[in-house]
Amino acid sequence: MRLSCADRVLDLTRPVVMGVLNVTADSFSDGGRFPSPAAAVAHGHAMVAAGAGIIDVGGESTRPGATPVSLQQELDRVLPVIEALRRELDAVISIDTMKPEVMRAAVAAGAGLVNDVQALQAPGAIAAVAAGNAAVCLMHMQGTPRTMQSAPQYTDVVTEVHDFLKQRAQACWTAGIATERIVLDPGFGFGKTLQHNLSLLARLPQLAAGAYPLLVGLSRKSMLGTLLGRPVEQRLAGSLALAAIAALHGARIIRTHDVAETCDAVAVAWATRAGVA
């Protein structure tokens, strides 16, 4: 299984770890840690050295209740980081954004993957990705970042998430985005209760059995706070358990804040699944 990311092809024969690089002030876990482009780029280097195959750069928080930022502010945050990382690292650079204008500018700056929590539903978003040759991650979210955790409800969360992602992938394919450029994300924690998240995780093999590779982001999520009663900074062990389970259940990209530890957990899980190291 391969993912075409502009001028690079990502081999997903075994799971790849995506390192989170938030150049924001208010992200739930690492907001404010990288206040300058130089600090962010240095952290990107450290994550690749620790084993990350993708660096996911985000300039606007999508945590519950997050305040939107202006287009110019987001561009000013992410473009210098993407340009430097693309120039200096042999890794796929991803842009985590909901704005079509940021998607276009980021791909022009060297991003090979567009990671959109709205699954390209914003006006002009599909056209922005179709106009280039970067890959796209389509994520499921019920509601918006500001409202998604108010009272999420489903009749069957797995079926509804699966159907939504299938529809969005079809819309992308119809617009000219090739199958090998599409990856899907069930959106753990985005408009889901703990029970919804656990149901998705238990039935992840069903979601991973389709034509598209699956990306999961479970690192330090609030579901771990609910399940374990631990604050964000004490959720590493739980995050690693979830990453290993996701890899065992067929996820091909694991998004994380803790790259080195997650690479180890995923390597052990994959060796168990595949029966070989």
Active site (annotated) includes residue 99: no
Active site (annotated) includes residue 166: no
Q: Which of 63, 77, 104, 255 is catalytic?
A: 255
**Does residue 276 carry a pLDDT above 80?**
no
| Spatial CA neighbour of 53 closest among 270, 243, 263 | 263
Whether 56 and 21 have beta carbons less than 8 Å apart is answered as: yes
Polymer length in residues for the chain: 277
Q: Would you place residue 146 in the very low, low, confident or very high pLDDT band (cuts 50, 70, 90)?
A: low
**Nearest-10 crossing angle of helices 100-109, 71-88:** 20
pLDDT tens, position by position, 186-224: 999 998 999 999 999 999 999 999 899 999 999 999 999
Across the chain, mean pLDDT equals: 92
Q: Which of 63, 192, 221, 252 is catalytic?
A: 221
Instruction: Give the CATH number of domain 2-274; options: 3.40.50.670, 3.40.50.720, 3.20.20.20, 3.40.50.620.
Output: 3.20.20.20
What's the rounded Cα separation, in Å, for the pair 244 and 264? 9
What is the percentage of the chain residues whose pLDDT exceeds 70? Answer: 91
| Spatial CA neighbour of 4 closest among 214, 124, 177 | 177
What's the rounded Cα separation, in Å, for the pair 135 and 250? 20
Whether 129 and 108 have beta carbons less than 8 Å apart is answered as: no
Whether 249 and 205 have beta carbons less than 8 Å apart is answered as: yes
Residue 144 is predicted with a pLDDT of 64
Residue 63 is predicted with a pLDDT of 73
Report the predicted TM-score, pTM, of the whole model to 2 decimal places: 0.92
pLDDT tens, position by position, 76-100: 999 999 999 999 999 999 999 999 9
Looking from the CA of 74 toward its CB, the CA atoms found within 13 Å total: 23
